[in-house]
Each structure stands twice: as C-alpha cells, then as structure tokens.
C-alpha cells in the first residue's frame, strides 16, 4: 500500500494490468494499493470466490467504483443490512441483506455504488479494481 502526498491520484494502465495480473487465483482476497494524503480516494484490488460473499457492506463516507477486470458475478445492491455492525467510522458489515436488487457484471463493466447503499458480492468469481471516493 502506498500513500500519495497529493490530493489527486493517477494510475496508469500498466499499473492496473500489473495489479490485476498479480492477484492470487483463489478468493476472497483484497488489498489496498494506493490512497491519497487525506484518504478521500482509496484504490484497492480484490478477487471474489465462486460462493456468495459472507458479508454485506455499507460505506457511509465512500462511493465505490468497481471496474470488473476478469470474470463475471452477481452483485446484490440496495436493501437493508438487518444485522449490521460497525467495523469503523462509517463502515458497516452484516450477514443479512434483504430487499436488494441483483445485477450481473462481467469483464469490462463498471458499477458505481453510491455511499450509503448496501451491497454484497453474489455467485461468480471476478477480479476487480475498486476506487473509493469520499
């Protein structure tokens, strides 16, 4: 993980290719790659497993921008996490997500999940570059 000393971040295509190609073959797995000086932008990479994600999540302070690099999966969006627990300031996790919408995503797709919207990875396996923006 690298902190940038500026408010902006530029990530080159070669850096994206390297970040995604060096992911392990099995998920779930995630790692932060870059964040700017005030943490208003955080870039991560992750790989999901074939199974439905164990936890739904909700970020009060960040919008997630998901760039699907490989694979395909379902993503559950919206609804309510009925058993949500705080894991840090503005960060919530829980196992029970109800009244959600299901979207199928695949390589090349971009999904934007606004702050305050619950979400969970569904069936399928993808490699994703995630940009969180405050």
Q: Read off the CATH number of the domain in which 96 is found.
A: 2.60.120.370
Taking the model in full, what pTM does it have? Answer: 0.86
* Residue whose entry in the numeric block shows the structure tokens 């690099």: 69
Q: Which tokens is 123 given? A: 């069936």
| pLDDT(7) > 80 | no
- Give me Rg for the CA atoms of the chain: 14
| pLDDT(4) > 60 | no
Domain count, the chain: 1
CB 51, CB 40: distance < 8 Å:
no
Smallest Cα–Cα separation from 105: which of 77, 84, 79, 75? 75
Q: How many CB atoms are closer than 10 A to CB 88? A: 7
Question: How does DSSP classify residue 53?
Answer: P
CB 95, CB 57: distance < 8 Å:
no
Higher pLDDT, 40 or 76: 76
* Residue whose entry in the numeric block shows the structure tokens 């705080």: 86
| pLDDT(59) > 90 | yes
pLDDT digits (tens, 9 = 90+) for 96-132: 999 999 999 999 999 999 999 999 999 999 999 999 9
Quote the CA–CA distance of 82 and 97 in Å, as a whole number: 6
Quote the CA–CA distance of 8 and 10 in Å, as a whole number: 7
Q: Which domain holds residue 65?
A: 2-133
Quote the CA–CA distance of 16 and 131 in Å, as a whole number: 12
The predicted structure's pLDDT at residue 1 = 43
**What is the average pLDDT value for the chain, to the nearest integer?**
89
């Amino acid at each position: 993980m690298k902190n940038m000393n500026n408010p902006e971040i530029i990530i080159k295509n070669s850096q994206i290719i390297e970040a995604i190609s060096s992911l392990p073959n099995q998920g779930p797995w995630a790692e932060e790659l870059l964040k700017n000086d005030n943490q208003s932008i955080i870039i991560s990479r992750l790989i999901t497993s074939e199974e439905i994600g164990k936890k739904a999540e909700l970020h009060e302070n960040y919008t997630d921008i998901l760039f699907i690099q490989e694979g395909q999966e379902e993503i559950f969006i919206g609804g309510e996490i009925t058993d949500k627990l705080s894991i840090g300031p503005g960060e919530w996790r829980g196992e029970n997500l109800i009244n959600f919408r299901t979207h199928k995503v695949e390589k090349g797709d971009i999904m934007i999940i606004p702050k305050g919207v619950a979400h969970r990875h569904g069936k399928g396996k993808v490699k994703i570059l995630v940009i969180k923006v405050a």
